[in-house]
Amino acid sequence: MSSFSVTEPSNRAKWFAGTLVIVYALVTMVPLAWIMLTGFKSPSDAISYPPKVLFEPTLEGYVNLFTTRTRQTPEFLDANPPQTWYEEIVREYDMVIAGPSKFGERFLNSVIIGFGSTFLSIFLGTLSAYAFSRFKIPFADDLLFFILSTRMMPPIAVAIPIFLMYRQLGLSDTHLGMILLYTGVNISLAVWLLKGFIDEIPLEYEEAALIDGYTRFQAFYKVVLPQAATGIASTAIFCLIFAWNEYAFAVLLTSGTAQTAPPFIPTIIGVGGLDWPAVAAGATIFLLPVMIFTILLRKHLLRGITFGAVRK
């Protein structure tokens, strides 16, 4: 090579890195792609062997996901011709739509509980991280360690005490109960991550704002918050992903009004046999909010992960 640079990677290194990234992406993307494809298959295509990559797409899975159906006599079916495209799909199995399924409700529960707990974790986390970062707090180090120690065991290890506590307090199967629980798990992560981000923001900005005639709190939300946006965004993604995907506590503590989507989706299997396309359709829809949220905050996330690595 005629010109050699220490910092610029060689073409071979770039090629190697590129290949590695593509292979890794394939490994992680194939299962997701398979789930999405299965959602558009008919039940027989979904379980055919060898697996079908090319198939005739149908919305059957989605229709089954959102509806409950009953079998009817041929007389009834003849007397009531199908009115809509989704009824036509159901008729192929001599069934009629009896009503909407619980999926919509459960999905909404997931949204309320997931975003609610994320908001609460970020709100409390930012305030306490700011306090830890800027104020002299007695036993600050011990408090921070104590906060971190809540993550030193798997949360499910305390499932039974929480189950009993929630029953006593009437928090079982309530939105509030689940929001509080996920906030409790996420808050330690939020405080620690955000403290790091706020520590990086020079004190001078706030002092300048104080001098410019703002109160401490105004300085916090007009100057510190915009500076911490990157950290807040990446912390929010981590919190949302945990709360959104949480399964064990959701199974244990919710069954009706506050049940989230993760424990609901497997119950589809029990209703009409092994309806894999409906399960896959549910999983696909379930993935979307986190995906959209992450894509929206992607720019911040990338900066967030490398934040503070290089002094600007």
Q: Nearest approach, Cβ of 222 to other proteins (angstroms)?
A: 8
Q: What is the DSSP letter of 152?
A: S
In the complex, what is the shortest distance from the CB of residue 301 to other proteins, in angstroms, rounded to a whole number? Answer: 18
Helices (H), 228-297: 229-245, 248-253, 261-264, 267-271, 276-296
Nearer to other proteins, 124 or 210 (CB): 210
How far is it, in rounded angstroms, from Cα 74 to Cα 155?
53
Q: Compute CA distances 70 → 18, 66, 99, 234, 270, whole Å.
A: 52, 14, 9, 46, 15
What does the alpha-carbon distance between residue 237 and residue 297 come to, in Å, rounded to a whole number? Answer: 8
Contact 258, 173 (CB under 8 A): yes
Question: DSSP of 106-131, one letter per residue?
Answer: HHHHHHHHHHHHHHHHHHHHHHHHHH
Q: How far apart are CA 253 and CA 242, in angstroms?
A: 16
- In the complex with other proteins, the residue whose CB is nearer, 214 or 238, is 214
Nearer to other proteins, 203 or 292 (CB): 203
Q: Report whether 65 contacts 281 (CB < 8 A).
A: yes
CB nearer to other proteins: give 15 or 221.
221
CA distance 162 to 289: 28
Q: Do 63 and 84 meet the contact criterion of CB atoms below 8 Å apart?
A: no
Work out how close the CB of 141 gets to other proteins at its nearest, in angstroms, rounded to a whole number. Answer: 16
CA distance 187 to 111: 19
Nearer to other proteins, 92 or 207 (CB): 207
Q: Least Å distance between CB 136 and other proteins?
A: 10
Question: In the complex with other proteins, which residue's Cβ is closer, 35 or 233?
Answer: 233
Minimum CB distance to other proteins, residue 205 (Å) = 5
Q: Which is nearer to other proteins, 72 or 227 (CB)?
A: 227
Report the interface residues with other proteins, using CB under 8 A.
Answer: 202, 204-205, 207-215, 218, 223, 226-227
Q: How far is the CB of 256 from other proteins (least distance, A)?
A: 46
CB nearer to other proteins: pick between 223 and 280: 223
Closest CB 230 distance from other proteins, rounded Å = 11
Measured from the CB of residue 212, what is the shortest distance to other proteins in angstroms? 4
Which residues are within 8 A (CB) of 181 and not within 5 positions of it... i.e. 6 or more apart? 117, 162, 166, 249, 253
